[in-house]
Amino acid sequence: MKNYNEGILAYEQAIKFNSSKKATTKALYEVSKLKIELGDYYGASYTLERAGSLDVDQRVIEKLKTFTEGATAIMKKKFRRGIENLNYLARK
């Protein structure tokens, strides 16, 4: 239905009120994916940074975090770092 903003709000509520590690991880992952689909790489990166203060499975979000770090590095014209991140993902 492409109603990204409502989806993001629903997942944010799940993060806020859920005590399940699996559900919180899934919600954080989905919020990040939706922001990437909207072209908001900085927002996705910030969302994934929140994982450090939440009870989530870090392994699940690792690749998405590496991707957003690479994309934002390229946007900041730090091409070498961005390409290194993206190459790292390609090797995994």
pLDDT in tens, 22-62: 999 999 999 999 999 999 999 999 999 988 888 899 999 99
Q: What is the pTM of this model?
A: 0.81
Q: What is the DSSP secondary structure assignment for residue 39, as one 8-state letter? A: T
70: enclosing H helix or E strand = helix 58-75
Binned at pLDDT 50, 70 and 90, residue 5 comes out as confident
Are residues 59 and 33 in contact, defined by beta-carbon separation less than 8 angstroms? no
> In angstroms, rounded to a whole number, what is the distance separating the alpha carbons of residues 59 and 22?
12
